A = this chain, B = another copy of it.
Amino acid sequence: MTKTIAYVLYPGLTALDLVGPLTVTATLGPEFQSVTVAHDLSTVDSDTALRVAATTTFGELTNPYAVVVPGGTSGTLAACADETLLDWIRTASAGAEVTASVCTGSLILGAAGLLEGRRATTHWGFRELLARFGATPVVERWVEDGSIVTAAGVSAGIDMALHLVHRFAGEDAARLAQLVIEYDPEPPFGGIDWSSVDYAAFAPLTQAVLAESLADHPELLARLTR
């Protein structure tokens, strides 16, 4: 039976969180298929100037082999209060080999109750929020804790997906995926100098996003900001 890797799509997601890993796992052989799954097949806004639509619906897809949840900002926080979406993730996760997230997608896993007692990561600007869901925030590119695999911000999903391909199909498959997408990074200014990041300067931005996005969900807002 084909093993389905299901990428959860919702309005306002960060497209790169989904497209990076999707492009990696799509290189897997015919034993696997990578799909996008949403409430319905309608075209929705992402958080950049690209509109996106899924290839299947929550109702049509049961028992995926793996689930990958992308992040974003206000759209992701709204998804944290979408009980139908959370229920689908919980059910799918129970039978899945891996449930993964990219960036703030881990907040959705947290809202679904899947991070209790787990080591996990997310975008650097939201990392401490993971503790509000019972997780231990970890500063790594991606974190594997049993069946739960969480990646850091946005582009970290590509590195995590290469690890997933390794886990699912071996090192040769992961190296082929890397070659196909020519992932031989050369950031013009090298890697990020984390010692120079002024985290405190970004904290009010995170708080503002939370307050604005969760105005209609006071319980979740209180949980994340108390």
**Minimum distance in angstroms from A27 CB to a CB of chain B:** 10
Q: Which residues of B contact A171 (CB under 8 A)?
A: 189
Q: A184 contacts which of B36, B103, B141 (Cβ < 8 Å)?
A: B141
Interface residue ranges, A against B (CB under 8 Å) = 7, 9, 14-16, 18-20, 22-23, 26, 33-36, 41, 43, 48-55, 103, 123-124, 141, 152-156, 158-159, 162-163, 166, 171, 174-175, 178-189, 191-192, 194, 197
Give me 19 other A-B pairs in contact (C-beta within 8 A), A9-B50, A155-B158 excluded: A14-B23, A19-B48, A22-B48, A22-B49, A26-B49, A35-B49, A43-B53, A51-B52, A51-B54, A123-B182, A124-B182, A153-B180, A153-B182, A154-B183, A155-B184, A155-B185, A163-B188, A184-B187, A185-B185
Q: A192 contacts which of B34, B50, B155, B184 (Cβ < 8 Å)?
A: B184
Q: Which residues of B contact A50 (CB under 8 A)?
A: 7, 9, 18-19, 22, 36, 52-55
Q: A23 contacts which of B26, B33, B48 (Cβ < 8 Å)?
A: B48
CA gap between A188 and B125 in the complex, in Å: 24
- Closest-by-CB residue of B relative to A18 is B50
**Minimum distance in angstroms from A139 CB to a CB of chain B:** 11
Q: Which residues of B contact A18 (CB under 8 A)?
A: 50
Residue picked from A15, A54, A194, most chain B C-beta under 10 Å: A15
Q: Which residues of B contact A55 (CB under 8 A)?
A: 49-51
Knowing A14-B23, A15-B23, A187-B159, say if A153 contacts B181 (CB, 8 Å). Answer: yes
Q: Which residues of B contact A155 (CB under 8 A)?
A: 158, 181-185
